[in-house]
Amino acid sequence: MMNNNVYPLEWFDSLILQTFDPLSTNIDSLTDNDIAAITENISKESIKIQVHLKNEVFSLKKKRHIRVTVRQYHSTLIFLLDSIIENRTAKVLQYEKIRQLADLLISSLDYLISFIEDRFSYYLSLDERVPITYLMVCRKELALKLQRINKRNISAETDKLTIKRVVKLVQNSIEADNGKKLTYRWILYFRELLKLLEDYNDDLETPSIFTPLDELLIDHNFNSVQYISILTERMTEQIYSIEKQSAKLNLLLLYYKDFKQLHSNVKITFDASHQNIKDVLENWFASEISFLQNRDEMEELGNVLYKRNINPLQPILENKIQCTLSSDQMGLILRATDETRILKAKSMSQVFKTIVPYLSTPFKRNLSYQSVRSKSYNPEEKDKEFVIKTLEKIIKHIKEY
């Protein structure tokens, strides 16, 4: 509860609701000295409010009272932020120095709100919908952070590719306007994630397939389907570059051991509609380990059948379906059906493993599922265009049914 005798936000309240009210004051009459004094005082008042809130919270004994106090500060600051953003559109506030002052006010209020959300998130109702004006400010703030992260000079090639992809995924999520309820929890997640990425030290070395950047993202439960695919592709590429079957399995088990030691905060998530990243990767490892173990057994069976002059692949060879698409184009479609969850399997690997052996092209009878899957991550523009045209042709036919 805010102290009944003292209203800590009184100065900001008066400045925004009275001085910056374009209907009730002559704000354009402010002198340079007035503007300089207000500018200096904004910083002082911001510090005073932080100290006052910390002292007030520290003096309270009951959690209920602390919760009420924190929420009062939070909701009042958001109300003031909404008010100054709304007032700023008035013609009288377009004077250069007045506009700069309004921008400084917005920045200071946003900082105070972030301070409360960072320090006292436990006492906030994080699943409430964010006001639209506050959301606009947050999007702008997060976009600037993404620009800084994107410009970072990352030395490790693996991390460089990961950062580039993660920035794009976060950017798409922040800019999306799909009617989804955007909450304080959503904003807090991205603020924390981008702060970690800004502070990330890419000089750290690791003997594991999982880099320190991966550890950071997994710990923050960055459960994007695309990011998980980056991880599984990286491991698959290393594993299947080895010829000996037993060595493949040993390397996979080593990766699994490293993975089991990683932590993931399941209380937060990038996409609440998807499983936690640890669960998805756990399923992927189980599927891959089972596949390689079974493959060992199949090889032994194949050797026995070969000695008896029986081809174990004959049923597959006889049941192949020829596709007029190239293997690269097929890979694009299979990857898209997995990532959009049209086809649901334990992993993307399982989709390719199950389907590709039964397909052929006019130029190639036997296709490698690893090769088809790998090429789907670096598609050429002409292949993307051809696949889109093919799908449009299918849509046209369906409409005519």
> Would you state the pLDDT for residue 316?
47
Count of domains observed in the chain: 4
- The residue segments making up the domain with residue 36 are 10-124
> Would you state the pLDDT for residue 305?
47
- Looking at the fold, whether 115 and 22 belong to one and the same domain comes out as yes
Which of the listed residues 80, 109, 124 is the one where a domain comes to its end? 124
Of 149, 180, 169, give the one whose Cα is nearest residue 229.
Answer: 169
- Looking at the fold, whether 40 and 135 belong to one and the same domain comes out as no
Average pLDDT, whole number, for the chain?
A: 83
- Looking at the fold, whether 132 and 119 belong to one and the same domain comes out as no
3-state secondary structure of 101: helix
Structural domain includes residue 217: no
- Looking at the fold, whether 72 and 116 belong to one and the same domain comes out as yes
> Would you state the pLDDT for residue 210?
93
Structural domain includes residue 30: yes
Mean pLDDT by 10 residues, the chain (401 residues): 71 88 76 89 92 90 88 90 84 80 90 88 81 83 90 84 90 76 86 91 79 94 91 89 85 93 91 88 87 64 52 55 84 88 80 85 77 79 87 85 75
- Looking at the fold, whether 131 and 117 belong to one and the same domain comes out as no
Give the helix ranges, DSSP H, for 262-347: 277-307, 314-318, 327-339
Structural domain includes residue 211: no
> Would you state the pLDDT for residue 129?
80
Q: Rounded to the nearest 5°, which phi and psi values hold at 202?
A: -85, 5
* Spatial separation of the C-alpha atoms in residues 135 and 110, rounded to whole Å: 11
> Would you state the pLDDT for residue 392?
87
Of 296, 360, 358, 355, give the one whose Cα is nearest residue 325.
Answer: 360
Count other C-beta atoms under 10 Å from residue 36's C-beta.
12
Structural domain includes residue 29: yes
* Spatial separation of the C-alpha atoms in residues 386 and 336, rounded to whole Å: 14
* Spatial separation of the C-alpha atoms in residues 285 and 271, rounded to whole Å: 21
Is 274 within 8 Å of 339 (Cβ atoms)?
Answer: no
> Which residue pairs, CB below 8 angstroms and at least 24 apart, start in 253-256?
253/289, 255/208, 255/209, 255/285, 256/285, 256/289
Which of the listed residues 76, 92, 124 is the one where a domain comes to its end? 124
